[in-house]
């Protein structure tokens, strides 16, 4: 199943290359992830059960973009990933866990 879903993930994650995220603050990165990336996965999440290994790679790239503005670069993370999943009213960034999102949409 991974070979079927990999092109979908690559197409969605290729949007990172077009964004100039280095000039944005972390909240700007979070907004781009929530509005563009998460919404792009919704349709395929309703149809397919994604393998956890592929979701881990996608989460890794999202985390890199959130902290550095590029999904290729890595650096010391400023916030914990669990903090990113908290809703805004609980002083979080409001991101969704891709595995839980996939399960709930199925």
The pLDDT, as a whole number, for residue 51 is: 94
Within 10 A of 102 (CB to CB), how many other CB atoms are there?
21
The pLDDT, as a whole number, for residue 1 is: 79
Structural domains in the chain (count): 1
Distances (CA, A) of 72 to 13, 67, 82: 11, 11, 21
Query: Residue 77 sits in which domain range?
Result: 2-105
pLDDT tens-digit series, residues 49-70: 999 999 988 888 888 887 776 6
Mean pLDDT, all residues of the chain: 80
């Amino acid at each position: 199943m991974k070979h079927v879903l990999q092109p979908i993930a690559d197409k969605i994650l290729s949007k990172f290359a077009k964004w100039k995220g280095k000039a944005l603050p972390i909240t700007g990165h979070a907004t781009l992830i929530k509005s563009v990336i998460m919404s792009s996965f919704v349709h395929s999440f309703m149809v397919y059960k994604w393998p956890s290994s592929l979701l881990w790679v996608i989460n890794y790239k999202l985390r890199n973009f959130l902290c550095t503005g590029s999904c290729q670069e890595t650096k010391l993370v400023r916030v914990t990933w669990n903090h990113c999943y908290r809703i805004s009213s609980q002083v979080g960034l409001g991101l969704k866990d891709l595995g839980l999102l996939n399960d709930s949409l199925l």
